[in-house]
Amino acid sequence: MSVQLFAMTCGWVTMPMKMLIYGTEGKLKIPVPVYFIRHPQGTVLFDSGLSMRVQSDGAKALGPLEPYFDIHFEENEEVSARLADVDMDPAKIDFLVSSHLHFDHCGGNDLIPNARWIIQKREWEAATIPESIAANSYDPADFDLGHDRVEADGEHDVFGDGTVRCIPTHGHTPGHQSMAIETDSGPVVLCGDACYLRQTIEEMRLPSRSGIYDEAAMIASLEKLRSLQKAGARLMYGHDPEFWSDVPQAPVALA
Ligand SMILES: [Zn+2]
């Protein structure tokens, strides 16, 4: 059996376009993607989407971020419900990988209670310092849940065979990571927020200040993603609604 990859939309968020691409106007409704990976030696979830607090209370649950976001997150769009589409019990997921600790990427961590949690060491460290929690808009209620934690310091090969790898793409946050997967149909890279939209990488258009922790690191990460793309990888952009409209959803495999 080879590695299978599934995409799941776990809600939508409407936000100011300029937060995604600096210098633009208006709003954009963006998908909240979660990915499930089935490897012969275990199962992996890449990100967990929005919290159930957000499903019940909407943007109010986001505290200081409330003014910027409209939430569209219905019952059964949460990751634990979506995993039923691939016959996966959320309590039996082996590894939960967080790209980073923003509310739309780790809000569902409590729905994946027994997984080993893989996060970049730098991201975790930033999430333990009060000033840094505030500066990066983290909410420890999303992720400080006592998971058995693996702190990756750079690249991390989940199964030791090169097929499912966390790759550091710092810049959006202190320790953002993406995921590179070798599938039968070729390499796929789950960008996370290292690359919000197709336009981000094709035109090198960065987000507004709120979406950047370290601009030079973010540009270097985009260059790294671009070189992976040139080498044949299919890039899965973090929040691109137009791109996402053609992505097959679980239970149909993406690759
Ligand atoms: Zn983010």
CA 100 to ligand 1 center in whole angstroms: 7
CA 163 vs CA 96, 189, 228: distances in Å: 16, 11, 15
Average pLDDT over residues 83-89: 97
Average pLDDT over residues 123-148: 96
| 29 close to 14: Cβ distance less than 8 angstroms | yes
CA pair distance 20, 112, nearest whole angstrom: 28
Average pLDDT, whole number, for the chain?
97
CA 182 to ligand 1 center in whole angstroms: 24
* pLDDT tens by residue, 152-208: 999 999 999 999 999 999 999 999 999 999 999 999 999 999 999 999 999 999 999
Task: Provide the pLDDT confidence category of residue 1 given band limits of 50, 70 and 90.
Answer: low
Residue 63, pLDDT above cutoff 70: yes
Contacts of residue 128, defined as CB under 8 A and 6 or more positions apart, other chains included, come to: none
Q: Which residues pair with 71 in a beta bridge?
A: 13
Residue 249 φ then ψ, to 5° = -100, 150
Residue 241 has a pLDDT of 98
Average pLDDT over residues 23-36: 97
CA 169 to ligand 1 center in whole angstroms: 12
Residue 3, pLDDT above cutoff 90: yes
Q: Which residues are close to ligand 1, an ion, with C-beta < 5 A?
A: 102, 193
- CA terminus-to-terminus distance, the chain: 13
Tell me the residue type at 226. R
Length of the chain: 255
Instruction: Give the rounded percent of residues in the chain with a pLDDT score beyond 70.
Output: 100
Contacts of residue 36, defined as CB under 8 A and 6 or more positions apart, other chains included, come to: 5, 6, 8, 43, 44, 45, 46, 83, 86, 88, 250
CB-CB neighbours of 130 under 10 Å? 8
Nearest residue to 8 via CA among 207, 190, 229: 190
CA 208 to ligand 1 center in whole angstroms: 12
CA pair distance 117, 105, nearest whole angstrom: 13
Residue 173 has a pLDDT of 97
pTM of full prediction above 0.85: yes
Residue 28 has a pLDDT of 98
CA 194 to ligand 1 center in whole angstroms: 8
CA 167 to ligand 1 center in whole angstroms: 16
CA 14 vs CA 61, 106, 109, 117, 214: distances in Å: 15, 18, 22, 28, 25
Residue 252 has a pLDDT of 97
Q: What is the DSSP letter of 253?
A: -
CA 2 to ligand 1 center in whole angstroms: 30
Please state the separation of Cα 194 from the chain's center in Å: 9
Residue 222 φ then ψ, to 5° = -65, -40
